[in-house]
Structure 1
């Protein structure tokens, strides 16, 4: 089972073993990782699961599609080159060990 390392807005680290097929947002919410509001429940309609992907995993995660990119443009926190919505990242074996920094403001 892949492990995702979440860096919470307060700087604490939470390591979560997550089933393949879940989104990074779903895994965080199920394990009570603080900082992700996930208001829309994973529909890419609110940007309240804005995260920064570790650059080492950027290629494996891929780029945001047009709808996600539009949401990220309106996110409250700074948009960075590795910004993604956690609800749009599907967990798989290739993401084992990935570090995700949760944006400080959702």
Structure 2
């Protein structure tokens, strides 16, 4: 499984547009092959930070997601609206929940 986390800083003048973009991007991404989960959240400790949490079946699915034109357009628009570049980290791992909690 591939886990992607990221965030973007919201600005007062673009806040609603950026939140709408994040929600649209997450909803669209959940329909892609190999997407196990894709959500955006407002950080309760830093309310001007929009956080993304994504789960993908494998790197092939992530590469396909990055190749979708709408994904690229999303990043370009978010970069233009935010005072700081978006942050993204990609992790490879396995779900060990059953081994930890029984």
Instruction: Report if TM-score (shorter chain) is over 0.5.
Output: no
Structure showing greater Rg: 2
More strand by share: 2
More helix by share: 2
TM-score (norm 2): 0.28
TM-score (norm 1): 0.28
